Every structure is written in C-alpha cells, then in structure tokens.
Amino acid sequence: MKLNYVAKVSTNGKAIALLKVFDANNKSIQSVTSSNNAITSDQWKHQSLLVEDVTNVHEILIGLFAEGSDGSFKDVTLQVQNENGVWENISLPNFDDNLWFAEPKDDYLVRENNSITLKTIIPAKQLHNTVIDSLIKPHAYLKLHNAFAIIPTIVYANEKGTLPETNPTNLQHFINEMEASNSGSFTKETSLTNAIILWNAFRHFYVYQEDLNIKWDALLHQLLKDAYHAHTIENHILVLEKFLTHFKDGHIRINHNTLIPSYENTYCTPINFAFVNNTLVVKDTKDTFKGNIKKGTIITEINNTPTHVFVDSVSQYVSGSEQFKRVKVLRRINEGKLNSTLKIKTNDDIEIQLLRNTSYKENEDFYKSNLHEKHKEVTKDIYYINLSKIDDQEIDALIPTINQYRGLIIDNRNYPKDTRHRLFSYFTVNDTAKWLGNTVVLNPDYKGVKQTFNSYALNKKKANIMLTTKNVMLINENTISNGELLAQLFKHYHLATIIGKPSAGTNGNINDLKLLHNFSIIFTGLKVQNPNETVFHAVGVYPDIEVYETVNDIKNNKDVYLQDGIEFLNNTLNK
C-alpha cells in the first residue's frame, strides 16, 4: 500500500505524512512516517510512503502534519498493488469533505477541493482522515475520549432484504418484548432509553443543527440527568419537551395514545385567547358562553398564578421560534381533556372557572380567528380570497372575476386548503432559486453531510391567463409550513406586498420517531432556507409592512390586518 502526496511549507517549516494500518482488533500492524525525510521546501514537492504487508488490514489512518510554519498538501492518493503487480487507486474524499478533520480543531484549516493548508497558530498541528475499505466493512471511525466506537454506515442487502438475514423466531420474540414493555409500568430504564434514542436521532440527523448553536455534550449530560430523575411518566414528558425546545422547531410534537389528547379528542374552553403586546386578552367568546367576559378583557391570573409567570413557565416546554411559541402557549392554556377546567381572573377582578367542553376540531376556525368567508369583494376595486378555505378548482374558477378588480388581498394567515398552490400558476415567474433541501448524512455526528437544494417543483405549467391585480398577502405567526412556502415565493419574487407579523419559521416535511411506552415524536426532516439562501428556520417570513393590533381593535371587532391591506392597496392604486 502506497500513500502519495504533494506538499510545501513556509519558512522553517516541515510537512510530514503518516500512514498507519490496523487489524480487525484495532491493533496497529504497521506505521510509517516521513518525519525523517520531511518536505521543507516552499515549492510543491512529491513524496510517497509505503506499507509492504496489507494482508490483514482492517483500518487505515492517514495523518498530515505541519510543524514550525504553515503547511499545504494536495494530490493525496492511496494505492494498493493488485495480484498482477499493478497499482490501483483507492478513492479518497476531497479536502473540503468533513471526513478530513483537524486536531485540535478545524479553525486551523483552510479547505479547498484539491488542497488544504494547516495554519500554524500553535507549534504543531495534525490533520487526520480515516480511510474506509468498502470491500471489507464500511464504518466510521470515532475517537471517544478514552475509547473507540465502530458504527456501521452501510447496510448490505440482497433481493430478499438486508443481510444477515433475520431469524423470524428471534424477530418475533424481540417484537413481543417491545410490546410488553409498552404495556407495562413506566420505569427509569424506559425514561433513559427514550432519552438516548431521541438524542441520537437529533444529534446525527437533525437537518437544522447547522443553523443552531447547540452544545451537544452538555445537552446530553443534562438530558440523561433529567431522564434518570423522571420518576413518573408525566415528568418524563416534561423532560422530553425541555430537550426539544433547543431545536426551535414548530413542527415538534410529542404524541401518546392516552396521556396526550389527539386532535380529535382535544377540547377547549368557550373562549379564544390572544396576545396583544405580551398581554393575554380575550379575543372572542362562543355564543354559548354566558359569563361576564367580553372581547378585549385582560387576563391577569391563570390557575391562581400571575399570567406572565404562568406563560413563562409554559414557554419553557414548547419548541419553535419566539413568535410561534406564543401560538403554542395559547393552545397549551386553552386545550385539554374533555371537562377539564381552567381558572382565570380578569383585570376587573372577575374570577371564573372555565370548562373545556368545546371540541377544537369542530371549532378550529373560531380558535384560529379564521372567520372570514372563502372570497368576497371588499371594495369596488379590491377582492379578497381566504387560502385556508378555497381549493384549486375554486381558484381556477375565480381568476376571471378577480381580474375585474385592480387589487387582490390574499389571506394566508392559516394553513392553506390547496397545498399544491394553484395560485402560483397564475404568475409568469418560474421558481429557479435553490432553497428546498435534500440531505444525505453519511457519518455520525452529522458529518459527511451532502445537501442539494432545489426549486419549487409544483405548478411549473402556467395557466392560459395571468393575474393582473396589484396584490397583498396577509401573514402572521399562524402562517406555518406549507403556508410559509407560498409566502416565501411571493416575497422573493415580489408577487405581493407582505403585510402582517413574522410567520412561524417552520417549514419542511416532517419525520415521525417512535419511542418506548407508546410515545412518538414528530419533527422537521427537510431543510428549507429562504430562496435568497439566507436562514429561514426559527426566523420566518418577515412582512414588508408590520401590523400592530391593539386591545381596542379586538373590542371593536376590527381585523386590523385586513384593514391595513385595504388601506395599502387604496393608496397604491390611487397614485
């Protein structure tokens, strides 16, 4: 086996290479180095290292060192001599691949595709790459403090499935044991196991971790400590929720078949709450509510706790952007199991015990303040459409009507009914930005990540007629995921003036992770950036014109978003 490389150094420097091979027991078989024949020139020089016996080679370690001053390497190749005496190349990753890593840290690297420079901030640095012989046993090679871990990264398979073939009896026994653990009592072992599974899923695969400042080791230490002390299943839920807040992912939700109500079995009080300038107020009440509370009433206490303290406490256990956490907190306050209670106190010192007996599913529009009809004329010059209530066929049928108006208000404050966004077909622009990510993770610790970004693939075929209106799009913190995708497109291509509040900052297809004891977690699994390639996660779409709602607006039943949209279009159309 032969290692070839080209290197050069700055004044008084040395460029040294190391080639070391190990057997299956991680025992070093042979090690060669160029330390006694180092490259000391400031011009590119070629050099080789030779390992003669490769019979039992299982692992290969390549080391590149710079001593005394900066050292640069290029054209690093690894060759093995076949039975005919011909040297054959073993494929190595490019230097811009994270499989090449530095000690003590990557700050000392200047990476390029075909060369790499080690900056001598301290007397000696070293660059390592573990080379994997894919014909033997592909794996990643990780140094863990005082130990090593071998982690498979490739699964072999034939036409029947993965290898080695599973013993059906053993598999069924394993499944039975798993099901028995789900139906048994909750234990400390279950708590720790769920914590470990969850941490590994996010550590190795969470696609937004590059946008977040996560201290993984400290986070694991705290998670295991909390999981160990979670003596009840209810405490276990809080431990998982606390961990998940670090990812600022609005899609994140913990599900459980009995402890956490499903969408169909979620009930609310007959009151819709809202935040106005960090003050919790009554947004609306159901017709069936007979209490002495009106729209705009300020809530000062929840369950005998000052509102700001209660809200802050709940916020510690919800994941999402700052703006979307407010949406989740409102739902946490209002939602619960059938006939559970919520005690509130108002700024008028009125205390009332509310019963959660109103189905959220059957009254979702009420709780999302989504009370406008599908579409309507709002002035003689302006038309309005509500994306959460109108489908693609209705969009097609409405276009001739809309084009009779000079302005259009597109209400995108709730999840769109037409998730394929037929409306985008009525604009001449085609999406050419690269912003919807496909991520392949090749190695543990989110290393060797390959990401490709694509444009929006739907509705490439344009309609026969185009929209001719001046457009406004309304958004707020309820604009999430698929609704944000459309808002991102409209903002990037200047198809509408965006009016409202920042959107949720949560977009991308979701993953579902199953845990022990009937728990499961959903989280975002597809990375989305802004079409201009800036960070979107936990940031959201920022409006061109921000809306400021007041308590008086709520008392007067004024939709300030819609009114601001009308005012903007009137001013624009009449210039």
User: In terms of C-beta distances under 8 Å and separation of at least 24 residues, what long-range contacts does 466-469 make, across chains too?
Assistant: 466/426, 466/427, 466/428, 467/399, 467/402, 467/403, 467/408, 467/426, 467/427, 468/403, 469/383, 469/402, 469/403, 469/405, 469/406, 469/407, 469/408
Strands (E), 290-339: 299-302, 305-306, 335-336
pTM reported for the whole predicted model: 0.75
Bond preceding residue 168 cis, omega within 30 of 0: no
Tell me the CATH number of domain 263-367, given options 2.60.120.1440, 3.40.630.30, 2.30.42.10, 2.102.10.10: 2.30.42.10
| Strands 157-158 and 161-162, bridge-based pairing | antiparallel
Other residues' Cβ atoms within 10 Å of the Cβ of residue 277 = 9
pLDDT at position 64: 84
Strand positions, DSSP E, 486-563: 497-500, 510-514, 519-524, 545-546
- What pLDDT does residue 122 have? 34
Q: With respect to CATH, is domain 375-573 assigned 3.90.226.10?
A: yes
Place of tokens 């075909």: 114
Tell me the domain boundaries of the chain: 2-152, 168-244, 263-367, 375-573
pLDDT score, position 119: 61
Query: And the tokens for 411?
Result: 């209400």
Q: Rounded to whole angstroms, how far apart are CA atoms 139 and 154?
A: 7
Task: Give the pLDDT score at 132.
Answer: 34
State the Cα–Cα distance between residues 137 and 153, nearest whole angstrom. 9
Mean pLDDT score of the chain? 88
Q: Which amino acid is at 63?
A: G
> Is the C-alpha dihedral spanning 380, 385, 389, 394 positive or negative?
positive
Spatial neighbors of 573 by CB under 8 A, at least 6 apart, are 381, 406, 407, 470
Cβ within 8 Å of residue 315, ≥6 positions away? 325, 329
Q: Do domains 263-367 and 375-573 have the same CATH topology?
A: no
Model confidence pLDDT, tens digit, residues 205-261: 999 999 999 999 999 999 999 999 998 999 999 999 999 999 999 999 999 988 999
- Does a cis peptide bond (omega within 30 degrees of 0) precede residue 104? yes
* Per-residue model confidence as pLDDT tens digits over 394-448: 999 999 999 999 999 999 999 999 998 999 999 999 899 999 999 988 888 898 8
From CA 167, how far away is CA 176, in angstroms rounded? Answer: 14
d(CA 161, CA 155): 10
Q: Give the pLDDT of residue 106.
A: 53
Could you report the per-residue pLDDT of 351-376, keeping only the tens digit for each? 999 999 999 999 999 999 988 999 99
Instruction: Give me the residues of the chain with pLDDT under 50, please.
Output: 121-138, 143, 145
CA angle 66, 72, 75 (to 5 degrees): 120
